[in-house]
Structure 1
Amino acid sequence: MRLPKGSLYDLYGEDLLVNPDWKWIQPFLVRCEKLEMYEYLKKIAILIMENNKFIPKVFETAESFYELEKLGSAAILYEGIIEVERDIRSERLAICHYRLFQIVLEHNFGSSYVAHRFIPFRARLPKTYSLNGLLLIAENFAALERWEDVEKYAEELRELAQDMYADNRRSYKKSKYRLQHPLVFYYGRALLLKSLSFEYREMYEEAKKWIMGYVDLSWFKGLDEQGRIEVQRFSMYARANLLCIEVKMGNQTVIPQYAAFLQENPDEILEGLITLLISANQHQYSIDETLQLFAIESMDITKMESTDSYYREFFHRHRYCQFCYHYAAYSFYRDHFSEGIKYTLLSLEVAIQMKNNRMMVLCMTLFEKYREHATFDQSIVYDLLCKGVHNNMQEQQPGSLWSFWNSIMAAL
């Protein structure tokens, strides 16, 4: 008939609804996915699922889409199940919320909207999924710098990992839902996140107590090769974080040791420089000699992007934004005004890209304090960036769940 693909799908879909049969419905959903007919996929899925017997089948299809990384189509089906599922205690409903949370964080990390939507369902998940869900909740709140929430959900994560370990690792190994990481990873990560929650609230002695918990996790039984790698990694993190605490407390004698550690571990340099700058600014001392050890001018955010996932890249960008801000403040303290203005603008630009309102306000406050030292061109750049701040502030929460997903779908 020389019609475009999908032209008759409206008629075919209506016919399916008159005499619904899964052996025809499932291929139709797959075909809609291939043709990226997302609006019709959403419509037909909800209509089909009004017949409750199809909900399990649609869920299986959603899971297959998710495994094949067809995240947009999977999200539509998961959301459709949430719309029609009546049993709020259903494990399937909890998994749908969990999957949607995972999908969103891959493209919109640092979202309090989707976190709060998932949180009520976290305990209804299979334990293996609940571990990963709690970790994502805590990391999401860490991105938002909501440290009391980080502490709360990191403690839940620690308790769950500890309970599963005490269960002699029997129940979760029999589950059809496998752990994404070794159990020791979740336990160590919970301790690390708790220590960070205290560190960033300047409760340093409390932070040290939790850091000591992951200095040596080799007592974990049943460690495989990946588990032993994680134990070594946490030991390294503990050594770094103990030094970090000392630096933040103003102990300048450990700076050479801390700088040597950073040189041995290049992935930690950016985080380490932030620590050094925070301490130098707070305690008003010079770290010029230490900074010379690192090529600050050659730092390029594009080289810090991670291929692991969006939320890993998010943390790289977040750290870069913080580094620029604290380096600007340090430069102003040293009367290096040109350098200070430059890095204030860099931090503001990244904060706008990340929609980080807190950092936007901090950068704008810092710029205004030293505005008289800005060049004409720098003032023009600042005014343009302020328009971006205004646009971010004008954005509202989505009017409906589907409008929220439409914005996510655009990124998938």
Structure 2
Amino acid sequence: MQTNTIRTEVLQYIQDHNLTQSEFSTRANINSGSFSRLINQNKPFSMSQLDGITKAMGLGEDYFYSRFVGECFTLTAPDWRRLRPFLIRCAEVGRLDCTELILSNLLDNTNYGSLLFEVAEELFHRQYKDAAKLIYESVSVIEKYQHSERLALCQYRLFSLSISDNLALNLRAATRFEPYANRLEETDQLEAIKHLSHVYVSLHEWHKVDTLSEEMYRLASIQYELSLHPKRKTSEYKKPFRPFYFYMLYARLLQSAVYEQYEDYEKAMEYTLLYTNADEWIRDTSDEAQLIIRQFNDFSTANQYLLRLFMGELDYLSKYVEYIASQPDEIPHALCNIVRVANKFNINIDGILDRFQDHVPYRKYNCAFGEYNGPIKADEYASLLVNLAKYFLQYDRVLGIDILLEGLEFSGSIKSDSITIKCLTLFNQYRELANHEQLNKFNNLNSEVYLSHEKNSLNAHSK
């Protein structure tokens, strides 16, 4: 059975309601002459005309959308003046099926690459992320043989839109985007490298973090020096998301974290001192600069205390605790480190855990630069749970089993293989402490982990 065109349904409505075309066009707020030509010449409607007739007929806003897509390509040659507003409207009302129909008809025409990219950018910045993602993917297909900056920016947007608390999917997104990063403008590269680094921090891929942070520092320092050149005008370069010196400091912060994980605490201390007292060389007196300098000084102070703790100078524990107590958003990160120190040196921290117990539940936290990276904080919470469990189990406290099971469940939900393995290993080590109910829960979670791993393996092989 053939589907009626929009034109035939409009004419049927006019007939059923005993209206003249002029009367209907008035209701639809369309010029009567224009409406007559549309009907008699069987031309596709514009977006505003479609809105008018839909409203005049008392129908839902998107009632004709599927047919509208077809008529845009069958009644006439594609007209961007008609397609562009329709793509935006589809995003606004959530008709991604119609977005996909339009895109499927444009994939073979490279002339639409730049036009579609502009729409994707508008939707991206207006937070219509699902629609933007579809269009970026289409632009990537259209330009897949072009080594263009636009293609690289599409891949960067797709990477940004793909990041979630699912660490396995984040790795896939990072792997797909990374080859395109160096095709971006230097100013965009810096933010892109920062986000790539975050993915690899959450995955404990410290060699990747080291390489990326070194590249971040190299790019940022070159651009910072160029920005200070007296003959270089601000208009000559694209302004980065944050000042160039921010990325220089952030790269050093990442590098200090890398060497802390390598347990090379002396080297980590060297890098920690490199993002301290940045006011001595930053030639910027703005409020933003002062905020950045203060925040990195705070990071440095806390991390110097922490590194001394890892080096066995346990007298610094009270100083570290009092310092982070005044910075609530830093307490969860500090607790994770304190538990690691306690496990390493076999010290009792019950009092500290009681003091900061309200900061243990998983939630979002902020620093001076906005919300902390979600996947990093999710991985950190999973690490906190397994380390807390280890702490309690060392003292044969059954509470450790409950925390360990919570850690196993949480690490499974974020697809953190490394933390999941730690949980499984630790449970088997202390299995005799578990009661019947805890054993049943462990067996169920273990089965879920196995099935999830098998599913991920099948998905990976199918791609």
TM-score, shorter chain, exceeding 0.5:
yes
Match of residue 197, structure 2, among 138, 143, 153: 138
Q: How does 1:217-296 map to 2 (within 5 A)?
A: 217-218=278-279, 219-292=281-354, 294-296=355-357
Cα 1:300–1:93, aligned 2, differ >3 Å: closer, same or farther?
same
| Letter aligned with residue 234 of structure 1 | F
Cα 1:107–1:177, aligned 2, differ >3 Å: closer, same or farther?
farther
Query: 1:319 aligned to 2:377?
Result: no
Q: How does 1:68-217 map to 2 (within 5 A)?
A: 68-105=126-163, 108=166, 111-168=170-227, 173-174=234-235, 177-217=238-278
Query: 1:47 aligned to 2:108?
Result: no
Query: 1:332 aligned to 2:393?
Result: yes
Rounded to whole Å, the distance in 1 between the matches of 2:396 and 2:97 is 57
Q: Unmatched 5+ residue regions in structure 1?
A: 405-412
Identity over aligned pairs, percent: 25
Between Structure 1 and Structure 2, how many residues are aligned? 399
Whether contact under 8 Å (1:141, 1:149) holds in the other structure is yes
Aligned to 1:358: 418
Q: Secondary structure at the match of 2:278?
A: coil
Whether contact under 8 Å (2:210, 2:254) holds in the other structure is yes
Cα 1:273–1:211, aligned 2, differ >3 Å: closer, same or farther?
same
| Letter aligned with residue 365 of structure 1 | T
Whether contact under 8 Å (2:329, 2:366) holds in the other structure is no
**RMSD over aligned Cα, in angstroms?**
2.7
Rounded to whole Å, the distance in 1 between the matches of 2:261 and 2:395 is 25
Deviation for aligned residue 1:309: 8.7
Whether contact under 8 Å (1:42, 1:80) holds in the other structure is no
Deviation for aligned residue 1:313: 3.4
Whether contact under 8 Å (1:192, 1:214) holds in the other structure is yes
Aligned to 1:13: 69
Deviation for aligned residue 1:128: 1.7
The structure with higher relative contact order (CA 8 Å, sep 6+) is 1
Rounded to whole Å, the distance in 1 between the matches of 2:455 and 2:365 is 26
| Letter aligned with residue 315 of structure 1 | I
* Cα displacement string for residues 63-85 of structure 1 (whole angstroms, at most 9, x for unaligned residues): 10011000001111100000111
Whether contact under 8 Å (1:214, 1:234) holds in the other structure is yes
Deviation for aligned residue 1:251: 1.5
Rounded to whole Å, the distance in 2 between the matches of 1:304 and 1:214 is 25
Rounded to whole Å, the distance in 2 between the matches of 1:305 and 1:105 is 17
Deviation for aligned residue 1:399: 5.7
Deviation for aligned residue 1:26: 0.7
Greater shift, 282-291 or 317-326, is seen at: 282-291
Query: 1:23 aligned to 2:81?
Result: yes
Q: Which has the larger radius of gyration?
A: 2
Rounded to whole Å, the distance in 1 between the matches of 2:102 and 2:324 is 55
Q: Secondary structure at the match of 1:167?
A: helix
Rounded to whole Å, the distance in 1 between the matches of 2:104 and 2:459 is 20
Rounded to whole Å, the distance in 1 between the matches of 2:268 and 2:217 is 15
Q: Unmatched 5+ residue regions in structure 2?
A: 1-8, 10-56
Deviation for aligned residue 1:190: 0.8
Match of residue 118, structure 2, among 35, 54, 60: 60
- So what's the TM-score if we normalise by structure 1? 0.88
- So what's the TM-score if we normalise by structure 2? 0.79
Cα 1:268–1:366, aligned 2, differ >3 Å: closer, same or farther?
same
Q: Secondary structure at the match of 1:161?
A: helix
